[in-house]
Each structure stands twice: as structure tokens, then as C-alpha cells.
Structure 1
Amino acid sequence: MPSTKSERSTGAKKAKAQPFPIKWVAIASALMFFVPLVCSFLDSIKERWYVFNPTSLHELAQAAIAHAPEPDDTAFMADYIIRNLTATYPSTQIALNHDSSEWVFNNAGGAMGAMYIIHASITEYLIIFGTPLGTEGHTGLHTADDYFNILVGEQWAFAPPNLKMERYPAGSVHHLPRGLTKQYKMHEGCFALEYARGWIPLMLPFGFADGLTSTLDYVTLWHTVRITGREIIRNLLIFKI
């Protein structure tokens, strides 16, 4: 029986609809090809946006320890570090958070402490992190190199298959290369100047996960997002990536 006009019209529409899946497959294939290339290129040039130097920060941490009136005076060390950084780096080069009273809790990888965000940008962050009570947890798997400069107390760490404990006393630095993970423990009264360089936004989910799924401390989570976002924007406004 001959097809009606409406049937022919429906068949034509179906025929026209067939290319759409092909189009989306082509777009997905292009993204899968170009996105890794773009990410690889950006990763190869990210060092041009670094301002801080791990060696200089380690020396600054040691100087803060040496000048502290008491070996556990973390507040003095924090002020010493921010004063030195302010004198070293002009505000046109990098934005720093000078409010050393702006401490917030931080829960990540099962460990809990408090942090003062000195600097946050797309490629670097610098914080003081620690606790007077002691804590331990997972370092996280990150896209950035992490330098943990111990100011007060002592940190232990280990990563299998090496089953021996790593010990980091005050004045030492614990370097965790990107892509590696460890278990770590900060003993009672341990604080550190922590510097990370790499793709910082990719580290943020690790820092937020415990607040979203475990502690449900949304007040602390809000302050963490607020301060981090504020500092990243302040740096972007002076073209610090």
C-alpha cells in the first residue's frame, strides 16, 4: 500500500535526526584529543607563574624558628613570616593575606587542625597548618608538589613498600612530590608552613570532602571557600595566576 504524506514526512524527520549522534561523538572525540593537549601544554609552562621558592621558604621557616622568643610561639612565627614576605614581595607581584588572626579549622584525609591562609592562587598556596592536640591522616593524592616546613613539634610519615617511619622535626622540610601519597602524623603541638605549587584548584575537593561528607561543618566550609576564593581573586586581579 502506498505510504501517506504524513508517513513520508515522519520518515524524513527520522532520517534527518540520525546525524546528531554522529555529531556528538565527533565533538566528544575532539575534546578527548584536544583537552589533554591543552592540559599538557599548560602543565609545561606553569612554572612561569610561580613566585615563591621552596628553598627560600625553608630558610624563612628556619629564621622564624631562630627568632621566636619561645620554641612553641607559633603566633610569633606566623607574624615573622608574613612581615618578611611583605618586605620581600611587592603587592603588585603577589597578594598576601595579612590578617594572621584569620584561622579556620581544616579537616582533610581524616586529619584535623587549623590553618591560616597566607596566599592562594591558581598555581600556588602558602598556609600555616597545625594543631596543639595532635592528629594523623592521609596526605591526599595531588597535582601539586607539597613542601611541609615544620615550625613547631614533629611530624612522622610513611609510605609502603618502605615500612620505616620518616621523622621530620622542627626546622626540617617534608617534600611530598605530586602523585605520591603517605600516611602522616603530627604530634601534640605541631605546626608547619605548608607550600604547594602546581594546579591548586584540583586540590580543593580533597580539602572540602570531609566537611561535605563527614563533619558537616558548613560554617567552617563556608569560611574556607570564602577566604580561598577571595585570595585567588585578589591575585587574579594583579594577573598572578
Structure 2
Amino acid sequence: MKNTKLMLGLAVIALGFTACKDEKAVEAEKKVDTYVMYVDSLGNVTAEDARENWEGIEATYQLRSGDAQAALANMKDNAAAQERLDAANAKYEALKAKIQAEKEAEQPTADVTVSSKQQLRNALFGQGKVGDDMSFAWVNKDNIHSVYQQFIHTAEDNKDSYSREDWDEIKLMYEALDSRKNTVEKEGLSSEDNRKIAGLKFKFAPMLKVNRMGAKSAEMKEAKE
């Protein structure tokens, strides 16, 4: 009798586990369905509405996509569900690319003309690193040595092509970089990098002075002629 009760108890527990698993599988299937239907529903949204509300669409997409992907773990055989998710993902990415292209097309064409001064700064420091705000906050103890290297080697390699205005700008940038170095030294600049920078500066300072003066003299001579 006791054995019979024990067997019945185990059977009830087993049924409970099975029911629990089945419920999780059903719930997981619902989440996948919800995700797929959401992506399908975006096809009924007008392009104008999609562009205006894209941030909300993207946020909802990320939430439901995450739920659906997590739900796969609760499916014993999730191959078919994975295929549905992959198809929905591809459909969404295609829509996203289309909307982004349309939004870019609506934007006014930007003035792509870059001033000679900005071109010089881009060459000395990297594309867009230093703009009109003259901010060097991006220079830190870990990259300042490489910043000096690029700056000085670029100036050396192109010294024969610079005008007086270019050398004036180079001098201004050099002094601004040195000012940033004073701050970086207090933030933990290594003695090794400090030594290497000192060597670069020792070589560059007289070259800057001579070439700047030479460019100025040449300009004055041309003006007289």
C-alpha cells in the first residue's frame, strides 16, 4: 500500500514537471509568434510614420527580439522557430536599411568643403580629432606619445610644402599639445613616454623655428617682387 502511494506521488510530481515544461514551451512559442507578427505588422506602417517613429519601433523590436531569442531555450526542438526568427530578423534589417536611406536622402546636403586649416589639422592629428573648439581632451597618458609622433613626423615629411600660414597654425597646434601634456603628466604619464616625447620635442623645436622663419622670409620676398 505504501509502495502504491509512493508510485502515485511520483507520478503526480512527474506530471507536474511535464505540465510545467509544456507551459514553458507554449509560452515560448507565443513569444516567437508575437515577435514575428510584430515584424510583419511593420509592413503596414507607412514610410513617413516609420521614419517619424523609428526610435520607438527600434526599442520595441529590441525588446521582442530579445524575448523571442531567449524563449528558444525552452523549446525542445527549436529549429523551426529559429528559422522563423531568422526570416523575421532579415525582414526587419531590410526595412531598417530602407528607412535609414530615406532619412539620409531627406537631409540637406552638407557642405563637404574642408578648409585648408582643417585639412592641416586632420593630417597632423587624424581625421576630425581637432576642430574649431581646439579641444585636446581626447589626448591622454596612453596615447599622447603616438600623438606627438604623428604630429611631428607629419610636419617633418611635409615641411617643404607648408606656407607661412601653415607654420603659424602648426606652431599654434604644437603649443596647444604641449599645454595638454602638462595636464597629462599629472594624470600618470609614464617616465618612459615622457622621455620619448622630450626627444621628439628636442628635434622638432628648432626645425619649427627655422622653417617658420624661412616661409615668412620667402613670402616677404615674393611680395616685394
| Same-fold status (TM-score > 0.5) | no
Select the structure that is richer in helix: 2
- The alignment's TM-score, normalised by the length of structure 2, stands at 0.26
- The alignment's TM-score, normalised by the length of structure 1, stands at 0.25
Q: Which has the larger radius of gyration?
A: 2
